[in-house]
Protein backbone atom coordinates (compact mmCIF):
# COMPACT_ATOMS: atom_id res chain seq x y z
CA UNK A 1 0.00 0.00 0.00
CA UNK A 2 1.39 3.40 -0.96
CA UNK A 3 1.92 6.20 1.49
CA UNK A 4 -0.63 8.97 1.69
CA UNK A 5 0.64 12.00 -0.27
CA UNK A 6 0.07 15.46 1.21
CA UNK A 7 0.77 18.79 -0.46
CA UNK A 8 1.71 21.61 1.92
CA UNK A 9 1.19 25.08 0.44
CA UNK A 10 2.92 27.59 2.70
CA UNK A 11 5.47 30.37 2.18
CA UNK A 12 6.78 30.54 5.76
CA UNK A 13 9.85 28.22 6.04
CA UNK A 14 9.43 27.56 9.79
CA UNK A 15 5.84 26.41 9.33
CA UNK A 16 6.77 24.29 6.30
CA UNK A 17 9.53 22.63 8.34
CA UNK A 18 7.23 22.02 11.29
CA UNK A 19 4.36 20.57 9.21
CA UNK A 20 6.73 18.42 7.14
CA UNK A 21 8.35 17.00 10.25
CA UNK A 22 5.02 16.24 11.96
CA UNK A 23 3.47 14.59 8.90
CA UNK A 24 6.53 12.59 7.85
CA UNK A 25 6.80 11.15 11.36
CA UNK A 26 3.11 10.17 11.12
CA UNK A 27 4.03 8.24 7.93
CA UNK A 28 2.65 10.67 5.36
CA UNK A 29 4.49 11.44 2.13
CA UNK A 30 4.96 15.23 1.98
CA UNK A 31 5.47 17.63 -0.93
CA UNK A 32 5.87 21.41 -0.63
CA UNK A 33 4.65 24.31 -2.76
CA UNK A 34 5.68 27.83 -1.76
CA UNK A 35 2.88 29.65 -3.57
CA UNK A 36 -0.53 29.18 -5.17
CA UNK A 37 0.61 28.85 -8.77
CA UNK A 38 3.16 26.20 -7.86
CA UNK A 39 0.49 24.37 -5.85
CA UNK A 40 -1.95 24.26 -8.77
CA UNK A 41 0.80 23.10 -11.10
CA UNK A 42 1.77 20.24 -8.75
CA UNK A 43 -1.86 19.23 -8.17
CA UNK A 44 -2.40 18.93 -11.91
CA UNK A 45 0.79 16.86 -12.39
CA UNK A 46 0.54 14.39 -9.50
CA UNK A 47 -2.11 12.79 -7.32
CA UNK A 48 -2.40 13.90 -3.70
CA UNK A 49 -4.62 12.61 -0.88
CA UNK A 50 -5.02 16.03 0.75
CA UNK A 51 -3.63 19.56 0.83
CA UNK A 52 -2.75 21.90 3.71
CA UNK A 53 -3.23 25.42 2.41
CA UNK A 54 -2.14 28.68 4.03
CA UNK A 55 -4.45 31.65 3.52
CA UNK A 56 -1.84 34.42 3.54
CA UNK A 57 0.62 34.01 0.68
CA UNK A 58 2.19 36.47 -1.76
CA UNK A 59 0.54 36.67 -5.18
CA UNK A 60 -2.31 34.19 -5.19
CA UNK A 61 -4.05 33.81 -1.82
CA UNK A 62 -5.08 30.49 -0.34
CA UNK A 63 -8.70 31.43 -1.04
CA UNK A 64 -7.92 31.83 -4.76
CA UNK A 65 -6.14 28.46 -4.82
CA UNK A 66 -9.07 26.81 -3.03
CA UNK A 67 -11.59 28.29 -5.49
CA UNK A 68 -9.50 27.03 -8.44
CA UNK A 69 -9.28 23.55 -6.92
CA UNK A 70 -13.04 23.39 -6.32
CA UNK A 71 -13.74 24.62 -9.87
CA UNK A 72 -11.50 21.95 -11.44
CA UNK A 73 -13.43 18.70 -12.06
CA UNK A 74 -10.37 16.51 -11.55
CA UNK A 75 -9.39 18.21 -8.26
CA UNK A 76 -12.74 19.23 -6.78
CA UNK A 77 -12.94 16.28 -4.37
CA UNK A 78 -9.50 16.87 -2.83
CA UNK A 79 -9.67 17.40 0.95
CA UNK A 80 -8.26 20.85 1.72
CA UNK A 81 -7.23 21.88 5.24
CA UNK A 82 -6.94 25.64 5.48
CA UNK A 83 -4.41 27.24 7.87
CA UNK A 84 -5.65 30.47 9.38
CA UNK A 85 -4.13 32.86 11.89
CA UNK A 86 -5.68 32.84 15.35
CA UNK A 87 -8.72 35.09 15.65
CA UNK A 88 -9.32 35.48 11.91
CA UNK A 89 -12.99 34.45 11.87
CA UNK A 90 -13.53 36.26 8.55
CA UNK A 91 -10.83 34.05 6.97
CA UNK A 92 -12.60 30.98 8.26
CA UNK A 93 -15.93 32.09 6.81
CA UNK A 94 -14.37 32.93 3.42
CA UNK A 95 -12.54 29.59 3.34
CA UNK A 96 -15.71 27.74 4.27
CA UNK A 97 -17.64 29.46 1.49
CA UNK A 98 -14.83 28.58 -0.95
CA UNK A 99 -15.08 24.91 0.01
CA UNK A 100 -12.53 24.18 2.76
CA UNK A 101 -12.78 20.68 4.23
CA UNK A 102 -11.27 21.56 7.63
CA UNK A 103 -9.49 24.40 9.42
CA UNK A 104 -6.39 24.51 11.56
CA UNK A 105 -5.51 27.66 13.46
CA UNK A 106 -1.91 28.81 13.87
CA UNK A 107 -0.28 28.12 16.23
CA UNK A 108 -1.23 24.44 15.95
CA UNK A 109 -0.34 21.33 17.91
CA UNK A 110 1.26 18.22 16.42
CA UNK A 111 -1.64 16.06 17.59
CA UNK A 112 -4.16 18.41 15.97
CA UNK A 113 -2.38 18.26 12.60
CA UNK A 114 -2.11 14.46 12.63
CA UNK A 115 -5.70 13.91 13.80
CA UNK A 116 -7.08 16.29 11.17
CA UNK A 117 -5.01 14.72 8.39
CA UNK A 118 -6.03 11.19 9.36
CA UNK A 119 -9.66 12.24 9.45
CA UNK A 120 -9.71 13.84 5.97
CA UNK A 121 -7.64 11.11 4.31
CA UNK A 122 -9.31 8.17 6.07
CA UNK A 123 -5.88 6.98 7.19
CA UNK A 124 -5.94 5.46 10.64
Q: What is the pLDDT along the chain (124 residues), one digit of tens a residue?
A: 467 999 999 999 999 999 999 999 999 999 999 999 999 999 999 999 999 999 999 889 999 999 999 999 999 999 999 998 877 788 889 999 999 999 999 899 999 999 999 999 998 6
67 Cβ partners below 8 Å, 6+ apart? 98, 99
Helices (H), the chain: 13-25, 36-45, 62-71, 89-98, 110-121
> Which residue segment(s) compose the domain that 26 sits in?
4-121
What domain count does the chain have?
Answer: 1
Residues 63/98, Cβ–Cβ less than 8 Å: yes
CATH number for 108? 3.40.50.2300
For residue 24, which phi and psi values (nearest 5 degrees)? -65, -40
Amino acid sequence: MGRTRILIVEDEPNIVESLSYILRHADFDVSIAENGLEALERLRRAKFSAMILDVMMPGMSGFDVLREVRADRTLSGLPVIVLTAKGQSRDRQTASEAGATEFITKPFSNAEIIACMRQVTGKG
